[in-house]
Structure 1
């Protein structure tokens, strides 16, 4: 029989492993519990949720909250608008971020430290809301999709992350070989750099996509037409209207108090359903891109 070598685990190692497992389990509980609670609360009897009887698994299952949300036709319009803003915005984000990061990673770019310094300054100082609005207005982008996707076309932090990836993960020998073969900088970037950069492209697409999906402030500032509202802004309106309806009332008697209490419970049910509806697409997509975090910078590394 082949001899199997066993590694002796010391007492300190056991304590270290126990601490690690305890920390991982605690972190999982802290992250998973709010998600499970929101999902359960969205399909549970609001009376049981409000009284605290439902604390993890659903009780008194009801889908009234989802029915009330999806009966609103503006939900589907908001979904379409958000999908459009997310796809177009993420494409613009990648189109701006990746070339800028690659250019800043090249040592033969004259003045790259100056440009990088100017980029970093914008992380600490901004023009403010009023000047930004006036700029968007002068460019004729108010109440258009471009007011949502153009002002946030690039994130300086993401440019720095991509620049670091290009500097550490793309062998300069590949660039030198391509230049010797007569390749232009554009062809080098498109044919060699981008195919080797799929992990960072996937990560950036995820970061930008989540940001564009969850964005609502720019739409609230620049959009006037409700038909152009993204999902987040539509859901915000629904939630505000539900809460205002629940708080509305005149003379308080027994029947009125009961009706107001019922409206408040429905408003809470709708609130949980709104949260699930807004986050479900991102949660569904994330597992398909998460593997790129594991592969990381090893793809495209020097072999041999």
Structure 2
């Protein structure tokens, strides 16, 4: 049966389409501008002649970016921080969330209140810096991996999901003689792939975008992640270091394009995989919305 739509409904739908089209353009254009600027001449960028298409199309900026050893070294560091950091995050978050999801845990309310407290209050940057230094983590890779090993918010999200697993499954495992470790590995985790995927995504994206902790805790440039190198190029104009031996005019003609090319190189992996993982972001929000 076809329901005839009124004129008001058609107008409303048309306005919605127009509004969403405008919003989509506003969201996508900044990224498109960065992309076309990375292929454009610096003078065209400075004179605001770059809008929708590259002006003075060239690959010089990308050539210099890929020839810079700092970029590749930082890429390797970032991949290590994402891989190792996400693994540590998942293990510790899972080990913390499972016992907190069990009803028979003594002092569960106290522990949860303590964890929630840390979401609203912290010692601040200086105590955190002193703590990292006194623990011997300063200027090491561990300074980026251990201090933020567990996110209180993600812990609560995972705990909420674990609470949704029927108690009868846990009890059946105990009847068969399984201890808590076996129950976690053989019953809980196989049923928790959605929340594990969500946590993997949240933690991995966080590590990929992280630069502030590296700026505070690292002095050895060989340990810098990609985002910190990108910050130097954008803010401190260190793109000129890629152009040693070039004239001042040549430096200007390419330095602006290098900034945009570096942004594309740094964000391209996330842009490629995000459309395939977007549904997990939505699922993560819904998982945390369930209240016991």
TM-score range, shorter chain: 0.7 to 0.9
Contact 2:239 2:259 in 1 (8 A): no
Contact 1:239 1:267 in 2 (8 A): no
Matches within 5 A, 1:208-287: 208-240=203-235, 242=237, 263-287=251-275
Q: CA deviation at 1:81?
A: 0.9
CA–CA distance in 1 between the matches of 2:160 and 2:15? 33
Matches within 5 A, 1:1-304: 5-11=1-7, 13-168=9-164, 170-240=165-235, 242=237, 263-293=251-281
- Which runs of 5 or more structure 2 residues have no equivalent in the other structure? 242-246, 288-292
Q: Which residue of the partner structure matches residue 290 of structure 2?
A: none
> 1:283-304: CA deviations, max 9, x gaps?
22223333445677999xxxxx
Distance 1:35 1:135, change over 3 A: same
- What SS does the corresponding residue of 2:191 show, helix, strand or coil? helix
Contact 1:202 1:289 in 2 (8 A): no
CA–CA distance in 2 between the matches of 1:158 and 1:297? 11
Which stretch of the first structure deviates more once superposed, 174-183 or 266-275? 174-183
- Which runs of 5 or more structure 1 residues have no equivalent in the other structure? 247-258, 300-304
Distance 1:173 1:10, change over 3 A: farther
CA–CA distance in 1 between the matches of 2:50 and 2:34? 11
Distance 1:134 1:298, change over 3 A: closer
Contact 1:97 1:158 in 2 (8 A): yes
RMSD: 2.6
| Aligned residues between the structures | 282
CA–CA distance in 2 between the matches of 1:15 and 1:99? 54
> 1:232-270: CA deviations, max 9, x gaps?
222333445536859xxxxxxxxxxxx756634422211
Contact 2:41 2:254 in 1 (8 A): no
> 1:74-94: CA deviations, max 9, x gaps?
111111111111100011111
> 1:173-213: CA deviations, max 9, x gaps?
32233233332221111112112211211111111111111
Where do 4+ consecutive residues of structure 1 move more than 4 Å? 10-13, 243-246, 259-262, 293-299
Which stretch of the first structure deviates more once superposed, 112-121 or 124-133? 124-133
CA–CA distance in 1 between the matches of 2:206 and 2:115? 20
Which stretch of the first structure deviates more once superposed, 214-223 or 13-22? 13-22
CA–CA distance in 2 between the matches of 1:295 and 1:239? 35
Distance 1:244 1:32, change over 3 A: closer
Distance 1:152 1:164, change over 3 A: same
Larger Rg: 1
Distance 1:124 1:263, change over 3 A: same
